[in-house]
Amino acid sequence: MRIPVTAATVTGESESALADEFARRGWTDGLPVTVPTAERVNACLAAAGREPDEVLLSVEENRRDVTVRLAAVNAVLAGCAAEQFPVVVAAIQGWADPRWGAGDRTFFYMSNASTGGGAQLTVVNGPVRHALGMNSGTNLYGPAAHANVAIGRALRLVLRNVLGFRPDTLDQATQGHPGKLGFCLAENEEQSPWEPLHVEHGFSADDSTVMVMSGRGPEPIENRTGASAEGILHTIADTLSRLGAMVPGGPVVVVMGPEHADIVGSKHGWSKQEAKRFLYENFRRPVADLARAELKFRPDPVRDRTEGGITYRYGARDPGDIALIVAGGRNAGISSVITSWCYATPPGEFILAPVRMP
């Protein structure tokens, strides 16, 4: 992508014409874009403090590289402010983490090309949430904050324009979901009774991080009347255990609303690890249920277990496959879950990348 324009040569009329030309070339997601002038791109590069030609990610399957400059061009296209760009860079570095596919790098390519329709989820933690004005409360998945929308859209445009994952070519999602426009959220750390995700994974509370995962669309969970920890967690586990999600399996993100988190963690004193253990133990279906639905699957010595004469297929390999975060508004007993495209990381691991602010 070569955009040889400067702010001095762009007028309102010419900017509109350039945006139309970008759309004609397929460089947009169907929505209006910001013309990436040299000044705007350079502002992003300065905010990231990285060399423009540094390669953040190489995808061997289609021989594409994401450089800092190409990422910056697409961040500007998406409407990112320069100060938001370091989060985009961190997420792309997360995509390059060798733990994808437990060392099988083809998993990153496959997660974007698959019929399964996963989108690249990003979960932001740490002080950068407030510095950028990110939304972690009501309308968590909606367009409630510029930073969430712009960062998520920038990453999607990188996938589309730099790596070639377009709906009409490499991206073969049978249905996909709205997260393919952008899928970025922040944890509501201040309303959580537990340590936030990045602290749980060894970072300091003062660090800023981005967790990345190929995620399916969020599934809402309502329990407005439950008063026990078990009642709330059973409701969540039941949603996780739907038949359509049990065969592929994979890490999951439980996005617990503050009201549910208050009941489980504050009122009844459950630790995060206790809640994750309960969810793991109830995230299962009898194998006979899968057979009745004519779902074909291979026996799995890790996820199949016989108890009381009944063989169960577990949805997770261990409690570590469940990321439990708190986010959303404190106005109803509502949570959600995000299942993953496939087992793309080693057991019990999630990929978090640090955000480097200048």
Could you report the per-residue pLDDT of 275-302, keeping only the tens digit for each?
999 999 999 999 999 999 999 888 889 8
Q: In angstroms, rounded to a whole number, what is the distance separating the alpha carbons of residues 248 and 231?
A: 26
Residue 267 burial (CB count, 10 A) = 13
Give the up-direction half-sphere exposure of residue 1: CA atoms within 13 A in the CB hemisphere: 33
- Torsion angle in degrees (nearest 10) through CA of 124, 47, 94, 190: -10
How many independent structural domains does the chain possess?
A: 2
Question: Is a pLDDT exceeding 60 seen at residue 8?
Answer: no
Q: In angstroms, rounded to a whole number, what is the distance separating the alpha carbons of residues 330 and 46?
A: 38
Q: Do 173 and 267 belong together in one domain?
A: no
- pLDDT score for 89: 98
Q: Do 195 and 233 belong together in one domain?
A: no
104: Cβ–Cβ under 8 A, 6 or more apart, which residues? none
Q: Do 60 and 154 belong together in one domain?
A: yes
- pLDDT score for 7: 46
Q: Do 180 and 319 belong together in one domain?
A: no
Q: In angstroms, rounded to a whole number, what is the distance separating the alpha carbons of residues 320 and 200?
A: 11
Greatest mean pLDDT range, 5-14, 96-105, 191-200, 338-347: 191-200
Q: Do 166 and 267 belong together in one domain?
A: no
Mean pLDDT within 336-346? 84
Indicate the pTM of the whole model: 0.94
Residue 290 burial (CB count, 10 A) = 16
Question: Is a pLDDT exceeding 90 seen at residue 248?
Answer: no
Q: Do 100 and 223 belong together in one domain?
A: no
Q: Do 195 and 54 belong together in one domain?
A: yes
Question: Is a pLDDT exceeding 90 seen at residue 19?
Answer: no
Question: Is a pLDDT exceeding 90 seen at residue 45?
Answer: yes
Contacts 24+ apart (CB under 8 A), 259-263: 259/330, 259/331, 259/332, 259/333, 259/334, 260/223, 260/232, 260/236, 260/333, 260/334, 260/335, 261/191, 261/192, 261/193, 261/194, 261/326, 262/193, 263/226, 263/227, 263/228, 263/229, 263/232
Q: Do 221 and 210 belong together in one domain?
A: no
What SS3 state is found at 284? strand
Q: Do 141 and 285 belong together in one domain?
A: no
Question: Is a pLDDT exceeding 50 seen at residue 9?
Answer: no
Nearest to 276 by CA among 183, 188, 195: 195
Q: What is the largest CA-CA distance in the chain?
A: 75
Whether 14 contacts 37, CB under 8 Å: no
CA 337 to chain centroid: 12
Q: Do 258 and 121 belong together in one domain?
A: no
**Picking from 54-58, 74-78, 110-114, which range would have the lowest pLDDT averaged per residue?**
110-114
Mean pLDDT within 143-157? 97
* pLDDT greater at residue 149 or residue 168: 149
Question: Is a pLDDT exceeding 90 seen at residue 247?
Answer: no
- pLDDT score for 2: 53
How confident is residue 1, by pLDDT bands cut at 50, 70 and 90? low
Q: Do 198 and 266 belong together in one domain?
A: no
Q: Do 256 and 189 belong together in one domain?
A: no
Give the domain range for residue 70. Answer: 1-214+344-358
